[in-house]
Chains A and B, each alone.
Chain A
């Protein structure tokens, strides 16, 4: 991202959304912001302050856009409509694409692009020749190999397990502009999604003032922002879903039928949403029912050609449901509370079901079957993708719930949520690669604090990927909040500050459990287990492998602790001044150790090798 496009987008967005006095006042503030940036650049040098230019620029861009949207939200002189909002969203997404482009695309993204390239160049979906010639691919990824679950043909053909519809949609964009063209296509869907969401708000009686306040938080906050400028089917699917809900609500069969078809073609798993919506539409008229049957037949045909099997629909154990539900709500790396906090209000809206708009109830009821299928899956968090991947499709409907509740919410929670959302946007745009997490039970915030203070902060942030006590406490707090929340007026920014301070102070104290692979542990040698980019890493028990000479340092409590490890041939460890012989334990075993004094402890491997899982204080 450079300064000129930023200035151009700011001015264009202001001209689209503001007028009269608000426009003049914004212009003054805009000039002031640029002058302040210049002044800060001048000041930083003699003070000897060095700030990462990319982070500084993106922070400036986000704050400046926030200033513009504050004018849009609170001024009377605005030009507001769904189309204008969509146009501004497209402009901003264009800017965000510029910020994303220096970093390679990841997860399923390069595979979608590879399929599109195959369609454009070979007019087929056989990726074998694409894999052979990655040097000339717009993916800029020469390390790609077929994914787990891909199908291969008798003559060396290779077909991706991913649905080809998104690749088909990307064809014009890729043909015209390669990777930027593909991203622009998704951004176009992002803009359409913004338009549909605002129209949904209008349909459901949400006031313009509320829509204007929420527009930037929804369109330019996580998770929509991060999926609108990357190659995933989630944003086009969200657009289709909103249009389907609007179609059913307005009893426009062609609209919902086309939208549902698009939704399911993008990802067959979305068929579970379509089934419920079709059931709702069934009640309308027989003619529409016929359309529904046609769509259902098409869906069945599409399902038959995917990598999915009917066995996947079998219910999982109840505990897995609990993990999935709590995780999507609270998990630090992949849950709403930490990755898209605005939508906590949507969870509260769910608890006030009867008072919510009909569109919200329709949309969320349509999600039920899909969620029941998603919750118990080990990959509920989305796997190798930006957070909340599997539920992004519902976020426009959740936004409707937020909007319905918005005017009742006190200023304090709104401010905290807005500031946190801005922070997440800055972080995600400045470091797009950090949107992908290896799902080891930590989270970016906890890891960063852990590295700063060498304390276990991740234990304070709920995780159901590696279930911890914070998840239990967070779950109880969430349930209480769902029941007791009225306006949130007691949650002032000062209270948020105190909570932050308490977390920092508590996090610096040694915890009851040391996970040896965590970021707060100082690793002098050894290696992560399993390897960092192990596919479906979350299915493994994480650990840190030490061999003779390797050592670890970590804060621990005084007293007896139990060390859990795995060792094929046994090992000898030294903790403090004592040595412990770890018997052979091909499966996991434990050994009791003594920590002589609270504080920083060094664990050194004297002989052998062991995969250290964790140490629990007794």
Chain B
């Protein structure tokens, strides 16, 4: 115990002194303590992650590379953590939720986050000792509006009800007679499939909630059938992104389609109100133009709504989105889908990270000049933001 307490202090100090100033770097002492906790409760070898984190902090001056290295090392530490008792599993879950949700610390709403933690414990209690589902549920739980905080408790109830009856029998709960075998053992399968189906049909902002609930119900079943490893791999791969956990919670899988704007893109920086337009000259010989645009105050508009044009090409919600609709505060209430061709522009850190809502609009064979105009029926405070234009 004392040996690990000393290690925790040393780790925190070491990681504090190599901090390079981003909120994730600043949170590394806290992550270091979490890792020493894992080493204490699960496997002493996990402590090697501490010098690796320090080495990564020193070796990678480039921010994204460094944070991704942090992500890989910490995900590796969590992957190696094999809790032996329920109390250890609860500890690992707590550490994972803190890493995923409490960075940056300045953005944490303590009471709401504590409720999320209690909800995650409820999910874990409903089907111990597998923590993947509980962590997934905690990751996607919105803190706004307040009623969304009920989500993990609802999931816990579903997980409890949907767990196989034979596992209830193991715990001394009598199995009701007359229930067919399918219903006795595989209720969870039906529930998981139903939740995934709901995720498919739900609007983009609600889909993560259904997917996480399906994971909470489904992973124990996969573990029961000894085929849970793909789920674990996916969980580890997603955990790698903890320095941008907000992106994982709200922008997957569309985030993986995101690509940087063209290398030669010229910044435009125009915000067009209804009926306003700009002209952009096209260099001779250009075969393709790529307009990077987003919306402002358009988060409540539904997919397909035209908010502007590039010459005759309509710009719809779905080609672009509100620039900040993936922010934690706005996401649950937004109606935008992720742009079809999203721009790789991650802003913020940790749970506050979000993918900027800009999209790429490809204009084949552009004329001598491009006229970009905002739709005349755009709401009064809404804007079409032209970020940049690139030519190929």
Taking Cβ atoms with an 8 Å cutoff, the residues of A that contact B are 28, 31-32, 35-36, 39-40, 42-51, 411-412, 415-416, 418-419, 449, 452, 492-498, 500-501, 504-505
* B210-260 interface with A by 8 A CB criterion: 229-230, 232-234, 236-237, 240-241, 244, 255-260
Query: Which chain B residues lie closer than 8 Å to A44 at the CB level?
Result: 68
> Is B18's CB under 8 angstroms from A501's CB?
yes
Among B50, B64, B72: residue with most chain A CB under 10 A: B50
Query: Which chain A residues lie closer than 8 Å to B346 at the CB level?
Result: 46-47
Known: A40-B72, A419-B51, A492-B47. A46 touches B17 (CB 8 A): no
> Is A415's CB under 8 angstroms from B48's CB?
yes
Query: Which chain B residues lie closer than 8 Å to A32 at the CB level?
Result: 229, 232-233, 236
Among B58, B244, B256: residue with most chain A CB under 10 A: B58
Q: How far is the CB of B106 from chain A (nearest CB, A)?
A: 23
Query: Which chain A residues lie closer than 8 Å to B7 at the CB level?
Result: 492-494
Query: Which chain B residues lie closer than 8 Å to A35 at the CB level?
Result: 230, 233, 237
The residue of chain B having its C-beta at the shortest distance from the C-beta of A504 within the complex is: B58
Q: Give 8 pairs: A residue, B residue, CB < 8 Å, sorted on A.
A: A31-B229, A32-B232, A36-B233, A43-B68, A48-B64, A411-B45, A496-B51, A501-B18
Excluding A418-B48, A494-B11, A494-B14, 17 further A-B contacts by CB distance (< 8 Å) are: A32-B236, A39-B237, A39-B240, A47-B68, A47-B244, A50-B65, A51-B65, A411-B44, A415-B47, A452-B59, A492-B3, A493-B49, A494-B6, A494-B10, A494-B36, A495-B10, A501-B13
Instruction: Identify A493's interface contact among B47, B230, B260, CB under 8 A.
Output: B47
> Is A49's CB under 8 angstroms from B232's CB?
no
> Is B58's CB under 8 angstroms from A493's CB?
no
* B340-369 interface with A by 8 A CB criterion: 344, 346
> Is B229's CB under 8 angstroms from A49's CB?
no
Among B10, B11, B61, B255: residue with most chain A CB under 10 A: B10
Instruction: Identify B14's interface contact among A31, A43, A46, A501, CB under 8 A.
Output: A501
Query: Which chain B residues lie closer than 8 Å to A42 at the CB level?
Result: 256
> Is A43's CB under 8 angstroms from B230's CB?
no
Q: Is B286's beta carbon under 8 Å from chain A?
A: no
Q: How far is the CB of B54 from chain A (nearest CB, A)?
A: 5
Q: How far is the CB of A380 from chain B (nearest CB, A)?
A: 30
Known: A35-B230, A416-B51, A498-B10. A504 touches B18 (CB 8 A): yes
Q: How far is the CB of A217 from chain B (nearest CB, A)?
A: 14
> Is B52's CB under 8 angstroms from A501's CB?
no
> Is B344's CB under 8 angstroms from A43's CB?
no
Q: Is B55's beta carbon under 8 Å from chain A?
A: yes
Query: Which chain A residues lie closer than 8 Å to B65 at the CB level?
Result: 49-51
The residue of chain A having its C-beta at the shortest distance from the C-beta of B248 within the complex is: A43
Q: How far is the CB of A505 from chain B (nearest CB, A)?
A: 6
Q: How far is the CA of A365 from the CA of B132 in the complex (A)?
A: 57
Query: Which chain A residues lie closer than 8 Å to B255 at the CB level?
Result: 46
In the A-B complex, the 6 residue pairs with the smallest Cβ-Cβ separation, listed nearest first, are A39-B237, A46-B258, A494-B7, A494-B10, A497-B14, A46-B344
Instruction: Identify B48's interface contact among A43, A46, A416, A504, CB under 8 A.
Output: A416
> Is B47's CB under 8 angstroms from A494's CB?
yes
Query: Which chain B residues lie closer than 8 Å to A501 at the CB level?
Result: 13-14, 17-18, 54
Query: Which chain B residues lie closer than 8 Å to A47 at the CB level?
Result: 64, 68, 244, 344, 346
Q: How far is the CB of B24 from chain A (nearest CB, A)?
A: 13
Query: Which chain B residues lie closer than 8 Å to A493 at the CB level?
Result: 7, 47-51
- The number of A-B residue pairs with CB atoms under 8 Å apart is 114
> Is A36's CB under 8 angstroms from B236's CB?
yes
Query: Which chain A residues lie closer than 8 Å to B15 at the CB level?
Result: 497
> Is B240's CB under 8 angstroms from A40's CB?
yes
Q: How far is the CB of A26 from chain B (nearest CB, A)?
A: 12
Query: Which chain A residues lie closer than 8 Å to B13 at the CB level?
Result: 498, 501
Interface string of B115-149 (1 = CB under 8 A from A): 00000000000000000000000000000000000
Q: How far is the CB of A321 from chain B (nearest CB, A)?
A: 34
Q: How far is the CA of A40 from the CA of B58 in the complex (A)?
A: 21
Query: Which chain A residues lie closer than 8 Å to B72 at the CB level?
Result: 40
Query: Which chain A residues lie closer than 8 Å to B234 at the CB level?
Result: 39
Interface string of B51-78 (1 = CB under 8 A from A): 1111100110100110010001000000
Tell me what chain B mostly uses at the interface: helix, strand, loop, or mixed: helix
Q: How far is the CB of A2 from chain B (nearest CB, A)?
A: 22
Query: Which chain B residues lie closer than 8 Å to A45 at the CB level?
Result: 258-259, 344
> Is B6's CB under 8 angstroms from A48's CB?
no
Known: A39-B240, A494-B7. A46 touches B51 (CB 8 A): no
Query: Which chain A residues lie closer than 8 Å to B240 at the CB level?
Result: 36, 39-40, 43
Query: Which chain A residues lie closer than 8 Å to B230 at the CB level?
Result: 35
Q: How far is the CB of B45 from chain A (nearest CB, A)?
A: 6
> Is A419's CB under 8 angstroms from B18's CB?
no
> Is A40's CB under 8 angstroms from B259's CB?
no
Instruction: Identify B50's interface contact among A40, A50, A494, CB under 8 A.
Output: A494
Q: How far is the CA of A49 from the CA of B241 in the complex (A)?
A: 12
Query: Which chain B residues lie closer than 8 Å to A48 at the CB level?
Result: 64, 260, 344
The residue of chain A having its C-beta at the shortest distance from the C-beta of B8 within the complex is: A494
Q: How far is the CA of A422 from the CA of B17 in the complex (A)?
A: 25
Q: How far is the CA of A449 from the CA of B72 in the complex (A)?
A: 22
The residue of chain A having its C-beta at the shortest distance from the C-beta of B236 within the complex is: A36
Query: Which chain A residues lie closer than 8 Å to B10 at the CB level?
Result: 492, 494-495, 497-498
Query: Which chain A residues lie closer than 8 Å to B49 at the CB level?
Result: 493
Instruction: Identify A415's interface contact among B45, B58, B244, CB under 8 A.
Output: B45
> Is B61's CB under 8 angstroms from A28's CB?
no
Query: Which chain A residues lie closer than 8 Å to B8 at the CB level?
Result: 494
Q: How far is the CB of A153 from chain B (nearest CB, A)?
A: 53
Interface string of B1-31 (1 = CB under 8 A from A): 0010011101101110110000000000000
Query: Which chain A residues lie closer than 8 Å to B256 at the CB level?
Result: 42-43, 46
Q: How far is the CB of B58 from chain A (nearest CB, A)?
A: 5
Query: Which chain B residues lie closer than 8 Å to A51 at the CB level?
Result: 65
> Is A452's CB under 8 angstroms from B61's CB?
yes
Q: How far is the CA of A419 from the CA of B51 in the complex (A)?
A: 9
Among B17, B48, B59, B65: residue with most chain A CB under 10 A: B48
The residue of chain A having its C-beta at the shortest distance from the C-beta of B9 within the complex is: A494
Q: How far is the CA of A411 from the CA of B45 in the complex (A)?
A: 8
Query: Which chain A residues lie closer than 8 Å to B61 at the CB level?
Result: 452
Q: How far is the CA of A452 from the CA of B44 in the complex (A)?
A: 32
Query: Which chain A residues lie closer than 8 Å to B48 at the CB level?
Result: 415-416, 418-419, 493
The residue of chain A having its C-beta at the shortest distance from the C-beta of B17 within the complex is: A501
Q: How far is the CA of A564 from the CA of B11 in the complex (A)?
A: 42
The residue of chain A having its C-beta at the shortest distance from the C-beta of B256 within the complex is: A42
Q: How far is the CB of B358 from chain A (nearest CB, A)?
A: 13
Q: How far is the CA of A452 from the CA of B232 in the complex (A)?
A: 37
Query: Which chain B residues lie closer than 8 Å to A40 at the CB level?
Result: 72, 237, 240
Q: How far is the CB of B267 from chain A (nearest CB, A)?
A: 17
> Is A498's CB under 8 angstroms from B14's CB?
yes
Query: Which chain B residues lie closer than 8 Å to A39 at the CB level?
Result: 233-234, 237, 240
Among A40, A495, A498, A504: residue with most chain B CB under 10 A: A498
Q: How far is the CB of B359 from chain A (nearest CB, A)?
A: 14
Among A43, A50, A449: residue with most chain B CB under 10 A: A43
The residue of chain B having its C-beta at the shortest distance from the C-beta of A452 within the complex is: B61
Query: Which chain B residues lie closer than 8 Å to A449 at the CB level?
Result: 58
Q: How far is the CA of A39 from the CA of B232 in the complex (A)?
A: 13
Query: Which chain B residues lie closer than 8 Å to A416 at the CB level?
Result: 48, 51
Q: How far is the CA of A45 from the CA of B234 in the complex (A)?
A: 18
Query: Which chain A residues lie closer than 8 Å to B241 at the CB level?
Result: 43
Query: Which chain A residues lie closer than 8 Å to B55 at the CB level?
Result: 500
> Is A497's CB under 8 angstroms from B236's CB?
no
Q: How far is the CB of B49 from chain A (nearest CB, A)?
A: 8
Q: How far is the CA of A28 from the CA of B233 in the complex (A)?
A: 10
Q: How far is the CA of A415 from the CA of B50 in the complex (A)?
A: 11
Q: How far is the CA of A496 from the CA of B52 in the complex (A)?
A: 10
Q: How far is the CA of A39 from the CA of B48 in the complex (A)?
A: 24
Query: Which chain B residues lie closer than 8 Å to A411 at the CB level?
Result: 44-45
